[in-house]
Structure 1
Amino acid sequence: MARVLLFGRLADQAGWRDRRIEADDLAGLRAALAAADPELGEALAGPGVQVAVDKVLVRGEAVLTAGAEVAFLPPMSGG
């Protein structure tokens, strides 16, 4: 079971910041999140959203070990 963390506008949109979800890989986790909340699924697939697995940014697919921490980070802004 993965610990999923949402930050910024993603957490605001979902209405939660920390949840445990059963998934074997990142694709399965995204699918589970999108099935539960299609708008959140769309936001997570949006441009600029980054994913960190166990505090390491990943691009593409990743296998999730038991107890993995997956953080979805919204696009950064500012100046």
Structure 2
Amino acid sequence: MAKVLLFGRLADIAGWRERQVESPFLSALRSRLSDDDPRLGEALAASGVQVAVDQMIVRGDTALNAGAEVAFLPPMSGG
């Protein structure tokens, strides 16, 4: 089971910040979250959203080990 964390406006859209989700791959996890909440799925697919698996930014699909922590990070702004 993966521990899924949402930050910033992603958590606001979903209405939750942390949840346990069963998924063997990141792509399947994204699909499951999108199926459960299409608004969240759209937000996760937006440009600039980054994903960290066990505190390491990843690009593309990756296998999720039991107990993995998957954090979805909204686009950063600053100056």
1:7 equivalent in structure 2:
7
Structure 1: tracts of 5 or more residues without a match: none
Kindly state the Cα deviation for residue 3 of structure 1 after the two structures are TM-superposed.
0.3
1:55 equivalent in structure 2:
55
2:22 equivalent in structure 1:
22
Kindly state the Cα deviation for residue 58 of structure 1 after the two structures are TM-superposed.
0.2
2:37 equivalent in structure 1:
37
Calculate the aligned-residue CA RMSD, in Å. 0.4
Aligned-partner residue type, residue 59 of structure 1:
R
Tell me how far apart the structure 2 counterparts of residues 46 and 63 of structure 1 sit (CA, whole Å): 22
TM-score normalised to structure 1 length: 0.98
Tell me how far apart the structure 2 counterparts of residues 4 and 65 of structure 1 sit (CA, whole Å): 13
Q: For residues 10-62 of structure 1, give each alpha carbon's deviation from its aligned partner in whole angstroms, at most 9, with x where no partner exists.
A: 00110000000010000000011001000100100100000000000000011
Tell me how far apart the structure 2 counterparts of residues 25 and 54 of structure 1 sit (CA, whole Å): 13
TM-score normalised to structure 2 length: 0.98
Identity level (%): 68
Q: How many pairs are equivalent?
A: 79
Kindly state the Cα deviation for residue 71 of structure 1 after the two structures are TM-superposed.
0.1
